[in-house]
Amino acid sequence: MYIPTYQDMLEAHERIRPHIRRTPIRTSDYLNELTGAKLFFKCENFQEPGAFKVRGATNAVFGLSDAQAAKGVATHSSGNHASCLSYAAMLRGIPCNVVMPHTAPQAKKDTVRRYGGRITECEPSTSSREETFAKVQAETGGDFVHPYNDPRVIAGQGTCSKELIEDTDGLDFVVAPIGGGGMISGTCLTLSTLAPETKVIAAEPEQADDAYRSFKAGHIIADDAPKTIADGLLVPLKDLTWHFVKSHVADMFTAADPEIVEAMKLTWKHLRVVMEPSSAVPLATILKNKAYFKGKRVGVIITGGNVDLDRLPWMQG
């Protein structure tokens, strides 16, 4: 198992710089007052494909040799990694095959197809994803870019917190959502060297809390098919991401689906940005644990903004 280094992250930042956006940081006096902390929101929902995962995907795609790239790339994903890998492949002019659960939001499927990705659907479980993907990769021979358990992807995701630290005047905490752990791992990779005084906090849905239980137990606990409004956080930790979580995450908090939806509404209203439920989990956990964050400078990574606008969670009932 190759563990990516800080140097890998720096090289990734140079490699992807021409192809991604340096996303802005937003603040809200209202949300600061509500939480008792000073919050700095890193808006990865402003990336062209609408999610932070363009960083890791672009690093992987543009790190391939011409011979490797000729066969294209392939992956399995609940949506954002699929669209971001399709986008990066489109930029390089190579094929991209993705396996997605049939329950993935239509907006995410549409984005994949808009960027030229070819979708094969599967059941909404980790086992079905991996079985279906094995068949697709055997047929296409594309380079497997794992959505999170891949050194190239983790190094790419680490560029987000590099920018966050550079664009703020020091932070006590950085809070990011956790599913499989790609963003958290990249955050740990970067901050452990660039800002070791900044603590990394992971935020997870209560209804899909296998990372939280893994963190408390000291070993990976994997749920096969959890159900939560935060559809981007359904996958379990793997060996590489677990390495970063157990070594560098300072704490982990969970929030229930109603709390996530309420945080999503607050952010839409007071930051005036479109975010998806998975991206609202950090704010939901901060609101739930105000005493922990009170008086602190807190970076919050808004990981994505790909939602079905006709099926917003507060419209369903």
Q: What pLDDT is recorded for position 317?
A: 53
φ and ψ of 177, to 5 deg: -70, 155
Domain boundary among 144, 159, 184: 144
Average pLDDT estimate for 143-153: 96
Residue 1 lies in a domain: no
Q: What pLDDT is recorded for position 311?
A: 75
Average pLDDT estimate for 218-233: 87
Do residues 261 and 302 both lie within one domain?
yes
pTM of the model: 0.94
Do residues 83 and 24 both lie within one domain?
no
- 22 alpha carbon, distance to own chain's centre: 16
Q: How confident is the model at residue 148 (pLDDT cuts 50, 70, 90)?
A: very high
pLDDT single digits (tens) 295-312: 999 999 999 987 777 777
Do residues 39 and 86 both lie within one domain?
no
Average pLDDT estimate for 44-70: 96
Average pLDDT estimate for 143-157: 97
Structure-token match 């050194």, residue found: 151
Average pLDDT estimate for 67-74: 95
pLDDT single digits (tens) 110-141: 889 999 999 999 998 888 988 999 999 999 99
- Which domain covers residue 24, as residue numbers? 6-51+150-315
Do residues 280 and 180 both lie within one domain?
yes
Domain boundary among 144, 165, 192: 144
Do residues 177 and 279 both lie within one domain?
yes
**CB within 8 Å of 99: residues ≥ 6 apart:** 75, 76, 77, 119, 120, 121, 122, 129, 132, 133, 136
Interatomic CA distance for residues 293 and 287, integer angstroms: 9
CATH number of the domain within which 117 lies: 3.40.50.1100
Do residues 110 and 242 both lie within one domain?
no
Do residues 136 and 165 both lie within one domain?
no
Residue 122 lies in a domain: yes
Percent of the chain clearing pLDDT 70 (strictly above): 99
Can you list the alpha helix ranges (DSSP code H) found in 96-181? 106-114, 126-140, 151-166
Q: How confident is the model at residue 316 (pLDDT cuts 50, 70, 90)?
A: low
Q: What pLDDT is recorded for position 226?
A: 82
Do residues 85 and 222 both lie within one domain?
no
pLDDT single digits (tens) 170-180: 999 999 999 99
pLDDT at residue 213 greater than cutoff 60: yes
